[in-house]
Amino acid sequence: MSVLAHVFEAAGIATVVLSSVREMAEKTAPPRALHCEFPLGRPLGRPGDAAFQHDVLARAFALLSLPSGPVLVDHPEVIEADESPLSCTLPPRFDPSLPPAVDEARGLRRAYDRALARRGVTSVGRVIDADGVPGALAVLHAIAEGADWKDAGIPGGNTTAVCHDIRTYYEEAALELADGPVPGGRAVEDWYFEQTEAGATVLKARAAIRDGGGKFPVWFYMTPGQR
């Protein structure tokens, strides 16, 4: 973002960056930056809170009246990521002949469909659509149980993309099922990796691919780096 600020400014457009990594803003020194210590992925801070978002924009736009730069100012509020998993009920076991994650994904389909109908758009679809999620989890289950990952039939041949689609399917369904306020940053991620069969399956398959000689990019980006 800070690099793009320099590029746009050089083209004759005044810029303000909402910085998310202060050290990077210090090094790259864009003309105007408001550092926002908010959860990554939420540069305006609070979903569903128009007043807070307006406060962020007002502080950012105020920098446009300064006569010279570079200027780097901190938003006064710090919002920590929520490290406690979202409270979201999972479907009960329905078909014990299926791997648990496959059964679970099937059980979430109605919630996912409701989310899609309400939002009108989904970010599932990089290599599989919602119909492909149970099958993709069956492949990852087989890898976790010892099948050779190279011959397992990973959809699209792309572990990062298929894991993105599975996780997004779950997260979009979870937001439809969960009650209460908007979950904090990382709360839905924590729910997925710590409480769902799918998350556990992805973590096991990732370890199996790593231990089975998969190159770093093949397994590492299946989950967030800290996992």
Partner 1 sequence: MNGDQAMRAHSATLPSPVFEHPAWVTPPPLTRSTVAIVTSAALYAAGDEAFGAADTGYRLIDRDRRDLVLGHWSPNFDRAGVAVDLNVVYPIDRLEELAAAGTIGGVAPRHVSFAGNQPDDVSTIRLDSGPAAAAALRADGVDVVILTPV
By the rule CB under 8 A, 35 interacts with partner 1:
no
Nearest to 45 by CA among 54, 4, 160, 178: 54
Task: Give me the phi and psi of 2, to 5 degrees please.
Answer: -65, -35
Residues 103-162 that bind partner 1 (CB under 8 A): 119-123, 125-126, 160-161
Binders in 60-79 for partner 1, by CB under 8 A: 60-61, 64-65, 67-70
Burial 33-52, CB ≥16 within 10 A → b, else e: bbbbbbbeebbbbbeeeeeb
Separation between Cα atoms, residue 76 and residue 98, nearest integer Å: 51
Stretch that binds partner 1, among 4-12, 102-110, 139-147, 208-216 (CB under 8 A): 4-12
| 175 contributes a contact to partner 1 by CB under 8 A | yes
42 binds partner 1 (CB under 8 A): yes
- Torsion angles phi and psi, residue 74, rounded to 5: -95, 135
Q: How far is the CB of 154 from partner 1 (least distance, A)?
A: 15
State the nearest-atom distance from the C-beta of 68 to partner 1, in Å. Answer: 7
Residues 194-223 that bind partner 1 (CB under 8 A): 221-223
Among 160, 156, 155, 135, residue whose Cα is nearest residue 215: 160
Nearer to partner 1, 93 or 110 (CB): 110
Taking CB under 8 A as the binding criterion, the range among 15-23, 91-99, 100-108, 131-139 that sits at the site for partner 1 is 15-23
